[in-house]
Structures are given as structure tokens and as C-alpha cells.
Amino acid sequence: ILPKKVTIIEVGPRDGLQNEKVFVPTDQKRAFIHALKQAGFKEMELASFVSPKWVPQMVDAEEIIESCADFKTRNFVLVPNEKGVQRLYASKANAVAVFVGTSDTFNQKNINKRTHESMVELRPIVRGLKKKGYFVRASISTAFHCPYEGKIPEEKTLSLCQTFVDFGVDELCVADTIGMATPKEVYSLFTKLKTAFPDILISAHFHDTRKMGLANVFAALQAGIDRFDSSAGGLGGCPFAPGASGNVATEDVVYMLERMGISTGIDLHKLSDSLDIIRPFLSRPLDSAYINIIEKG
């Protein structure tokens, strides 16, 4: 049985922009985010408190968060370490995403630590965040495949998720970082996750590298998932995952779900207005069927 409604977590301002090589002016990021809010998103990943040496695009994260302080929405910021936590505490973000890769090689390239070292560091961080009342999501990268280590066994991802649940996170966001998972793998892993963690929010984060994003959304829906990350315009990609392209495009996910009678609460016209704002500042074309169809008239 498919859900009647789903929550879409718009990750365009964070995953979508972090891979843009040319700096997008802060004012344009703000205007983009405000337009996305008008389109109806209740949860968004807005920025990352990471090292600006590693991800220069996120250098203005404080200003971005400040400008969204009065949103009555769940505003996520990515935080990799204690320094990120201190920046978070000084900000008005109300939700946090910690992130780790299942594979040591990817995690080392992304946050300069082995997976186990990251988990040792994150344990007190998550506890501290929960004590202060933040909503905490754990993003699990390379949950299916790693660009360096290949196929990841399900048990490895499940075990990392179990550790995060033991830490006390509110949500597991399980990611196909390089867009290599098939619907069969997606259905299998998410079915196991739902069974193992019935009391915790679970979301799916798909990159569309091999154009399996929508099929994977459908497979996850069938496994009982009702929370999806996606990025307006199909923007996105992790700078430390070679070959990763953008996230599955929000407008295509919304279109598919609404046509299936599953409510998303998102206004597609307003979503497309938000893309008009950011598009002139991007170094790559938007990538979604919805936008292509509008453009061809």
C-alpha cells in the first residue's frame, strides 16, 4: 500500500549548490531559498558548516541561516565535527544533519577520517545536540555503492544505521551517493531498514547519475518510505564522490507523486519560479524532464 502523502526535503540549496565551482552570490542563494519556501517545502537542507577550504561554496552558511531564521520550517545544516557544532550553536538553525560514509575510503576523502573515527567523534556530538533539543538526522553516504570500494554489503549499512539509532538520532537518511543503486537493491535495503527501525524516521536520498532516481523513489515507496530528499532542477553532487551527478529532480518527483494521487504539498509553478532565480548563476544546465517539457512549450 502506497502512502497518501509524502514529505519532500529540498536539498538544492545544500547538495545542489555545494558542487558549483563558481561562487553563487549570497543574495541569490537567499532569494532561491525564499522562493523554495513559497513553493511549500516544510523541510530543507540550507547549508553546511564545513571547512570553506574543502567546500568554498558554503562559506556564507551563517548568513544563509540567519536570513531564514523566521521560517516555521525544519532548516537543516550539515555539520561534520565539533567546530561545525560550535558554529551551529551560534546560529538559528533548528535541525542538523551529521554525515558519514559506509566506506573508509569515501569517508576519508569526504571528511578526512575513517568511518569508525567519524563515529567515535559523532557519538558525543549527537548526544549533545539531542540534549539541546535539536532535530538530528544522520545521512549515510555510499549506502549502496562506493566509488572507491564498490558494492557495499547491506549488513554494513544496517550496522552503521544501528549505531546511529543507538546514539539517539531522529532520522536516518540513506543515500545512494553516486546514483548506482537499482530499484531491486533499494527495495531490499529499505524493507530491512523499516523492519529493523520501526520507530525512527527514514528517508531516501537518490542521485540520478544513471537515471534511476524516479524508479528508486518508487521502489522505496513500495518499501514503506514516505520521506525523500531531492533537489530542485536536479542540481547536486558531492565534490568528493567522482562520477556523482545531481540529486533526483524535485519537480520530477513531485510530478510523479501528484499524478499518482500522493500529496506532496509542493506547488510546481512556484518551484519552477525558484529555478528562474538561481539558474543564471549556475555553471551547468538544469536537469529535469519537467523543465525540459516547459521549455519546449
Catalytic residues: 238
Residues in contact with ligand HMG, counted by CB under 6 A, come to a total of 27
Strand (E) or helix (H) holding 140: strand 135-141
Residues 1-20, interacting with Mg ion (CB under 5 A): 15
Q: With beta carbons less than 8 A apart as the criterion, state whether 282 and 13 touch.
A: no
The H helix count followed by the E strand count for the chain is: 12, 10
Closest residue to Mg ion using C-beta atoms = 15
- Window 22-61: contact mask with ligand HMG (x via CB under 6 A): --------------------------xxxx-xxx------
Asked if residue 45 binds Mg ion (CB under 5 A), the reply is no
Question: Which set of grid coordinates corresponds to residue 110?
Answer: 569526504
Residue 83 or 184 having the CB closest to ligand HMG: 83
Phi and psi for 205 in degrees, rounded to 5?
Answer: -130, 105
Distance between alpha carbon 67 and the CA centroid of its chain, in Å?
20
The Cα 182–Cα 194 span in angstroms is 18
Residue of 12, 84, 233, 234 that binds ligand HMG (CB under 6 A): 84
User: Binding partner of residue 141 among Mg ion, ligand HMG, none, CB under 5 to 8 Å per kind?
Assistant: ligand HMG
Residue 27 or 82 having the CB closest to ligand HMG: 82
Sheet strands (E) in the chain: 7-10, 43-48, 74-78, 95-101, 135-141, 145-146, 150-151, 171-176, 201-206, 227-230
- Window 195-214: contact mask with ligand HMG (x via CB under 6 A): ----------x-x-------
CA distances from residue 135 to 29, 48, 76, 195 in whole angstroms, order as listed:
24, 15, 9, 22
Question: Which set of grid coordinates corresponds to residue 48?
Answer: 553546511
Task: Write out the residues near Mg ion by the rule CB under 5 A.
Answer: 15
Residues that bind ligand HMG (CB under 6 A): 15, 18, 48-51, 53-55, 78, 80-81, 83-84, 87, 99, 110-112, 139, 141, 175, 177, 205, 207, 238, 240
